[in-house]
């Protein structure tokens, strides 16, 4: 049977590692959210430039490009939302630990 002091120190160590893991998860989720937001803005810029191309008269190709850009923007937005949710969850876990 492990002594009470050993049990206490083990519990403390466990709590410490849990806290560290939670904070690590939170920071990585935040990073993911930031990168997703960045990609979303990039996609939006692409869409804008594609629409400019359409005005210039290169209709068919510009339309295809605009479609692609819109799709990219939508997927990037979805990723950003998911990353934000993960970050919130990780922060909650960190608060619990």
pLDDT for 36-87, tens place per residue? 778 777 877 877 776 666 565 666 666 777 777 777 777 777 777 777 777 7
Q: Determine the Cα–Cα distance for residues 72 and 80; give it in Å rounded to an integer.
A: 12
Report helix, strand or coil for 52: helix
59 or 89, which is more confident: 89
pTM over 0.75: no
- Which whole number is the average pLDDT over 12-35? 85
pLDDT digits (tens, 9 = 90+) for 24-40: 887 887 788 778 778 77
Q: Determine the Cα–Cα distance for residues 10 and 58; give it in Å rounded to an integer.
A: 69
């Amino acid at each position: 049977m492990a002594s009470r002091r050993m049990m206490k120190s083990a519990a403390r160590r466990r709590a410490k590692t849990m806290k560290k893991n939670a904070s690590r998860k939170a920071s990585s989720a935040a990073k993911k959210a930031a990168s997703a937001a960045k990609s979303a803005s990039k996609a939006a810029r692409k869409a804008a430039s594609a629409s400019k191309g359409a005005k210039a008269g290169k209709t068919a190709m510009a339309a295809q490009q605009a479609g692609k850009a819109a799709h990219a923007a939508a997927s990037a937005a979805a990723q950003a939302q998911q990353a934000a949710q993960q970050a919130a969850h990780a922060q909650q876990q960190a608060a619990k630990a």
